[in-house]
């Protein structure tokens, strides 16, 4: 190390010591005004009993508290000053750690860098560069794919998921009626079926015929039911067969009538059936009942 550098370092050290010796601005005490403010007078817990009212605190005591609170602020400033002095005094300046930025760089390193050949960037260091426009991007993709051996047109064909012909809609066909209603072609037939013989009964051809029973040997003649004699209406209009859409007005609710022919546990006497007594008024029935057993 030269004498010039030593002189510079000494001058720097002296300047540092000079600056550290200057007093630093002290921070104001925290909420000094608030600390010196007298504490609020507590409200009495029981206003009815003034004897239990505590005495309010003296404002002097509040100032003492404020002074005690301000002391830690002063203490906190002291270590900063001492640390500044100690850090400078205990600083061990070694020649190896000092880097003189004022020195002019030597020409030897530059020559060394110039002698080296520029290295080619590794393959992984090639960063993709954003294409300026769509054409450049497509060309870049095409170039990359050419390197991989694939041939695709540069211009992307239109997607095939464009407007397509809708599949043919199956015609709406009324579902077949249930099995028990399969024979009914319309409402009239449906109504007629209510009067038709039950399923499994004799067919119209069997009506009026004689069926020979195998076991007993007796003959059974099936009579034609009466409902077959009444011919169905030739052409009934829908209005005639359909129910009225407007419901009739409900009748006023009336109390249920009274006489409930509930047979007693023992059989109802036969004498009751032969009677022809038909009272029209309640008093008539009452008088008749009162006359029983007389």
- Contact 138/154 with Cβ under 8 angstroms? yes
Radius of gyration for the alpha carbons in the chain, expressed in angstroms and rounded? 61
Nearer to other proteins, 218 or 294 (CB): 294
Task: State CA 7 to chain mean position distance.
Answer: 77
251 lies in the binding site for other proteins (CB under 8 A): no
Span from 77-85, 140-148, 229-237, 262-270 in contact with other proteins (CB under 8 A): 262-270
Nearer to other proteins, 116 or 280 (CB): 280
280 lies in the binding site for other proteins (CB under 8 A): yes
259 lies in the binding site for other proteins (CB under 8 A): yes
264 lies in the binding site for other proteins (CB under 8 A): yes
d(CA 170, CA 179): 24
290 lies in the binding site for other proteins (CB under 8 A): yes
Span from 35-43, 138-146, 190-198, 269-277 in contact with other proteins (CB under 8 A): 269-277
112 lies in the binding site for other proteins (CB under 8 A): no
Span from 7-15, 31-39, 42-50, 265-273 in contact with other proteins (CB under 8 A): 265-273
Local structure of residue 188 (DSSP, 8 states): H
CB of 279: closest distance to other proteins in angstroms?
A: 7
281 lies in the binding site for other proteins (CB under 8 A): yes
- Contact 222/202 with Cβ under 8 angstroms? yes
List the one residue from 94, 101, 179, 271 that touches other proteins (CB under 8 A): 271
Nearer to other proteins, 51 or 294 (CB): 294
Q: State the sign of the Cα–Cα–Cα–Cα dihedral 216, 217, 223, 225.
A: positive
- Contact 145/155 with Cβ under 8 angstroms? no
DSSP notation for 133-171? SHHHHHHHHHHHHHHHT----SSPPPPTTSS-PPPPPPP
Closest by CA position to 18, among listed 88, 93, 100: 88
253 lies in the binding site for other proteins (CB under 8 A): no
129 lies in the binding site for other proteins (CB under 8 A): no
Nearer to other proteins, 198 or 265 (CB): 265
18 lies in the binding site for other proteins (CB under 8 A): no
CB of 287: closest distance to other proteins in angstroms?
A: 8
Pair of tokens at residue 164: 């397509």
What is the contact mask toward other proteins in residues 207 to 246, using x (rule: CB under 8 A)? Answer: ----------------------------------------
Please give the C-alpha separations between residue 83 and each of 14, 38, 86, 213, 220, in angstroms, as whole numbers.
Answer: 17, 38, 5, 132, 133
- Number of residues located near other proteins, criterion CB under 8 A: 34
Torsion of CA 60, 64, 66, 72, to 10 degrees: 170
Span from 35-43, 58-66, 215-223, 253-261 in contact with other proteins (CB under 8 A): 253-261
Stated length of the chain: 294
- Contact 208/222 with Cβ under 8 angstroms? yes
Interface residues with other proteins (CB under 8 A)?
255-269, 271-272, 275, 277, 279-283, 285-294
């Amino acid at each position: 190390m030269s004498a010039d550098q030593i002189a510079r370092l000494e001058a720097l050290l002296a300047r540092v010591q000079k600056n550290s010796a200057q007093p630093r601005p002290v921070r104001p005490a925290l909420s000094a005004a608030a600390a010196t403010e007298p504490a609020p007078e507590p409200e009495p817990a029981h206003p009815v009993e003034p004897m239990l009212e505590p005495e309010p605190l003296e404002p002097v005591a509040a100032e003492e508290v404020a002074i005690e609170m301000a002391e830690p602020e002063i203490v906190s400033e002291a270590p900063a000053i001492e640390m500044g002095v100690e850090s400078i005094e205990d600083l061990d300046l070694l020649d190896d750690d000092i880097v003189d930025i004022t020195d002019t760089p030597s020409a030897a390193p530059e020559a060394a860098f110039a002698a080296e050949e520029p290295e080619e960037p590794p393959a992984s260091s090639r960063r993709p560069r954003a294409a300026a426009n769509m054409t450049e991007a497509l060309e870049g993709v095409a170039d990359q794919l050419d390197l991989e051996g694939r041939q695709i047109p540069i211009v992307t064909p239109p997607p095939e998921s464009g407007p397509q012909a809708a599949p043919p809609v199956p015609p709406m066909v009324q579902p077949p009626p249930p099995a028990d209603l399969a024979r009914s072609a319309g409402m009239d037939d449906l109504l007629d079926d209510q009067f038709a013989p039950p399923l499994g009964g004799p067919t119209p051809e069997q009506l009026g015929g004689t069926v020979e029973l195998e076991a007993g040997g007796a003959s059974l003649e099936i009579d034609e039911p009466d409902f077959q004699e009444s011919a169905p209406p030739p052409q009934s209009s829908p209005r005639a067969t359909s129910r009225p859409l407007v419901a009739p007005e409900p009748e006023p609710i009336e109390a249920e009538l009274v006489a409930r022919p509930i047979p007693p546990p023992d059989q109802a006497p036969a004498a009751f059936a032969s009677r022809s007594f038909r009272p029209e008024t309640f008093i008539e029935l009452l008088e008749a009942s009162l006359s029983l057993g007389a």
